[in-house]
Amino acid sequence: GESVGLHLPTLSVQEGDNSIINCAYSNSASDYFIWYKQESGKGPQFIIDIRSNMDKRQGQRVTVLLNKTVKHLSLQIAATQPGDSAVYFCAETSYSGAGSYQLTFGKGTKLSVIP
């Protein structure tokens, strides 16, 4: 079946450096790709999304890049801070018929920021 996965389960970066979290997807028909952040003991929190007809989208300190040729999605965090330490999930939505959309999450990457 179609799936969304992550290249690396853990990532450690020095405070102030840039972080890059990667995600591979297999459903070429997905409409949106979304990044979520989950801190310990909390529910996932929306970071940014990108529509499938875009290559890049920027937010505050974050940039999402979409490469449809190789079905790859990445989240870049500029000037990583201790508060960025969390598990990051990518997710994709795809139309599943009859007005319904399927939302599939990747398994997550744990980002640890070293002070």
Partner 1 sequence: EAQVTQNPRYLITVTGKKLTVTCSQNMNHEYMSWYRQDPGLGLRQIYYSMNVEVTDKGDVPEGYKVSRKEKRNFPLILESPSPNQTSLYFCASSARLAGGEQYFGPGTRLTVT
Phi, psi torsion values for 6, nearest 5 degrees? -125, 145
Residue 13: CB minimum distance to partner 1, A: 22
Q: Using CA atoms, how far apart are residues 60 and 51, in angstroms rounded to an integer?
A: 18
Closer Cβ to partner 1, 46 or 58, answer by number: 46
Q: Which range in 14-22, 26-34, 60-68, 76-84 contacts partner 1 by CB under 8 A?
A: 26-34
- Residues making up the chain, counted from first to last: 115
Among 7, 103, 112, 114, binds partner 1 (CB under 8 A): 103
Single out the residue of 40, 43, 70, 83 in contact with partner 1 (rule: CB under 8 A). 43
> 3-class DSSP state for residue 15?
coil
- Asked if residue 23 lies in contact with residue 3, where contact means CB atoms within 8 angstroms, the answer is no
Query: Tokens 């505050």 label which residue?
Result: 60
Which residues are near partner 1 by CB under 8 A? 31-32, 34, 41-46, 49, 51, 89, 91, 93, 95, 99-108
